[in-house]
Structure 1
Amino acid sequence: MTDAAPAPDAPAPLPMFYKQPMPLEPQRHATAGLKSDATYLFAATTNALPLTASEMLLAARTYPIVFSTSTPTVPFAVVGLRDHENLFVNEAGAWREDSYIPAYVRRYPFIFSEVPEQQRLVLCIDEAADSFESASAARPLFADGKPTDALQRALQFSETFQAHYMDTRRFGEWLDKNNMLEDRVARADLGGGQTFTLRGFKLMNPERLQTLEDSQVLELHRKGWLPLLHFHLQSLNNWALLGSLVRSRGGLKPS
């Protein structure tokens, strides 16, 4: 299993944001491309975003990092306290300055699609994306039937993301195998005696970190995962930032 869109005729649900991913082809997308003024409005209605393990250092400076309750276990950056609310994207679609933008967001509208019978991945683009233009695009994807530099960069970025995602999958499997995570709740201080409680995710049990065997610590060190546990715990101090951002928006509105 990979972080990829299903084949066009597959019934599996599409990954977050994607509505109409189609394989990139010189004929179909000969005049297609991306707008020059694309925004992050597509990410404004989610409160959690997938992370790769390689991003956890940067993400931990701004976001609380939690882990999914479903498998495969992957880390998520919490970007909002309520469903359908990203506190880091404003009404104009700009991301909050000085805040790390997860690679999952920066990759959009590109994604790989699995071709099981050929055991390979094909680069796709979400034709339903606001940034996609089918003709006369400011940033074309093909020129004379060949990929442009913009498309080559998108392919390289997607390949790197895919490799990091697979490593993240292995990291999550290790956490599950070694019983490092537990269902937890978090409370964000909204000021004025108000708090907001979030559920539906897992956090690491700090006591498990203290009781790891030498062989486990050595395995984590060799795979480059040991610092990730500390980045995760450090990131939990960022619940206060989310509370502050809610206050700056006028508090929580009734559902």
Structure 2
Amino acid sequence: MASAPKQNLPVLYKDLVPLNNKEHGDFAARTVDKAPWIGKQHAIPLTVEEFPVAQRDFPIVFSSGDNSVPLALMGLNEGVNVFFDEEGSVRGDTTPYVPAYVRRYPFLLAKLQPDTDNLSLCFDPTSDLVGKFDDGQKLFDGTEPSDHTKGLLQFCEKFEEAGMRTQAFMKELTDNDLLMDGEISIQRANDPDKPFTYRGFKMVNQEKLRELRGDQLRKWNENGLLPLIFAHLFSLDLMRGVFAKQVDLGKGPEGLSATAPAA
């Protein structure tokens, strides 16, 4: 069976192969209590369904460039994650929300042929979470997908559906010209004359939001888009907390501006 395209792979994924009973009939999937694959990730994609809970822990911004997507910021500099250490264990005593994008790894639904809309369940073979293990959940019962695999497929399908709703949300923001280049300055206690400035992301332009017509705001309030926008805006204050955690870890920016990656 043909492999999925390896170019332009999503964040976290180093390779993709389609899951099938001929090659992977004796494979199992391990469950782990830590996620080393996000230890050095400072920005993780989010779906709109996750905004209400994610905004309690992370600043929610939008990636720069075309086809902007929502991101949960876990650090303000590339390679820095203040919520999970390099081994993927939680820092501190409180477990933050874990985005569905992270929980889905190493699986995802991918299009194997460019001329079809059919999606196949694939996995990252470079991960040590899937393989010929004595432990873990079997992926096949004979030639049929196991209940565990069916559950994985259902989770990935729901993620794709959430992704489509997220795209619709982003289209509304773009069509109404509500996204602007973001910039947030954070005063540093030890050097208040040289604030840390975070750029390289997009955010909702509050001035243009206030200028929207009342019927548009009512529509967004009724269909749930307006609360999502406010969740994003309120979450931006958490950047100061993330900055403080970086400083405590000895990973402060030392006057350098940080940039959010496109995803």
TM-score (norm 2): 0.86
Once the two structures are superposed, residues 101-150 of structure 1 have per-residue CA deviations (whole angstroms, 9 ceiling, x without a partner) of 11111111111111333321111011111322234342221122222222
SS in 1 for 2:115: helix
Matches of 1:43 and 1:98, distance apart in 2: 14
The offset of 1:39, in angstroms, is 2.6
**Structure 1 vs Structure 2: percent identity of aligned residues?**
33
Once the two structures are superposed, residues 177-200 of structure 1 have per-residue CA deviations (whole angstroms, 9 ceiling, x without a partner) of 101111022234554236432211
Is 2:170 the counterpart of 1:144? no
Question: In the alignment, is the contact (CA less than 8 A) between 2:243 and 2:252 conserved in 1?
Answer: no
Matches of 2:146 and 2:189, distance apart in 1: 51
The offset of 1:30, in angstroms, is 1.0
Pairwise mapping of residues 139-218 of structure 1 onto structure 2 (< 5 A)?
Answer: 139-189=137-187, 191-193=189-191, 195-218=195-218
Unaligned runs of 5+ in 2: 257-263
Matches of 1:104 and 1:161, distance apart in 2: 8
The offset of 1:75, in angstroms, is 1.0
Q: What is the identity, as a one-letter code, of the residue corresponding to 2:126? A: A
Distance 1:60 1:177, change over 3 A: same
Matches of 1:215 and 1:253, distance apart in 2: 43
Matches of 2:116 and 2:205, distance apart in 1: 41
Matches of 1:130 and 1:70, distance apart in 2: 33
Distance 1:21 1:38, change over 3 A: farther
Tell me the equivalent position of 1:239.
239
SS in 2 for 1:117: coil
Matches of 2:11 and 2:71, distance apart in 1: 13
Pairwise mapping of residues 1-255 of structure 1 onto structure 2 (< 5 A)?
Answer: 8=3, 10=5, 12-37=7-32, 39-96=34-91, 97-114=94-111, 115-189=113-187, 191-193=189-191, 195-252=195-252
Distance 1:232 1:36, change over 3 A: closer
Tell me the equivalent position of 2:261.
none
Question: In the alignment, is the contact (CA less than 8 A) between 1:45 and 1:85 conserved in 2?
Answer: yes
Tell me the equivalent position of 2:259.
none
SS in 1 for 2:183: strand
TM-score (norm 1): 0.89
Once the two structures are superposed, residues 2-24 of structure 1 have per-residue CA deviations (whole angstroms, 9 ceiling, x without a partner) of xxxxx836463100111121111
Q: What is the identity, as a one-letter code, of the residue corresponding to 1:213? A: R
Question: In the alignment, is the contact (CA less than 8 A) between 1:190 and 1:243 conserved in 2?
Answer: no
Of 15-24 and 131-140, the range deviating more from structure 2: 131-140
Q: What is the identity, as a one-letter code, of the residue corresponding to 1:117? A: D
Of 112-121 and 189-198, the range deviating more from structure 2: 189-198
Unaligned runs of 5+ in 1: 1-6
